[in-house]
Amino acid sequence: LKQAAHRFVVTQRERVIVGGAMVLPTVQARFVLAKRPEGNFREGEHLVFEQSARLPEVNEGQVLIRNLYMSLDPALRPQMSIRTYVEPVPVGGPMRATTVGEVVVAAGGLQEGEIVMGLGGWQEYYIADVKDVRRVLLPHGAPIQAALGILGITGITAYFGLLRVGAAIAGETVVVSGAAGATGSVAAQIAKHVLGCTVVGIAGGTKK
């Protein structure tokens, strides 16, 4: 997946203004799940790059989002094959991913140019109901891509899992399984540098 994602360079197509009206894009680049992997993943067989996929029309009450940043999470690999905590990625549809993007066509209180987050997938644009996206609100100076990591679900899971569920306190020893992962590494840092705990991290091997 990582190699495939590196090939996905979002082409920033110009917005064309004709008679004062913006002409919206009709095609886009995207990655599509063509076949469920059974074993090793192979680009071009399971995940196919489409250079000029048709972009559907935007209906009333929907927004059109131009993706700026997209996630590449380990959890995406099993979602290509089986049901996990969510349904698997539909065959023939764009590869699933959480994205941060800019509103191109606004609706429902959102304004053009606002930055939002949603399940935009590995594609240049996506269309969503207003209820399925949310504004990205970050501290001043924080990069918007942080909403996909430390200031997003990764950081939230680590913070509340450690402080609310685990109820860790200063001076305790905290054992973090999956310490090399996104959430585990944040939890370890919070435990050590914020709470002052002794941290033991478990990873999958010596390199991690």
Q: Residue 196's pLDDT is what?
A: 94
pLDDT of residue 4: 53
Q: In whole angstroms, how far apart are CA 180 and each of 78, 139, 201?
A: 19, 26, 8
pLDDT of amino acid 72: 86
Angle at which helices 182-189 and 153-160 cross, to 10°? 50
Q: What is the pLDDT of residue 62?
A: 93
Q: Are 39 and 153 contacting, i.e. CB atoms less than 8 angstroms apart?
A: no
- How much is the pLDDT for 208? 67
Provide the token pair at 19: 């008679």
CB 58 within 8 A of CB 64: yes
Question: What's the rounded Cα separation, in Å, for the pair 60 and 187?
Answer: 42
pLDDT at 15: 44
Cβ neighbours for 182, distance < 8 A, ≥ 6 positions apart:
73, 149, 154
- Residue by residue, pLDDT tens for the chain (208 residues) are 555 555 554 444 444 434 445 677 889 999 999 999 988 888 788 999 999 999 888 899 899 999 999 998 888 889 999 999 899 999 999 999 999 999 999 998 899 999 999 999 999 999 999 999 999 999 999 999 999 999 998 999 999 999 999 999 999 999 998 898 889 999 999 999 999 999 999 988 777 6
Within 10 angstroms of residue 198's Cβ, the number of other Cβ atoms is 11
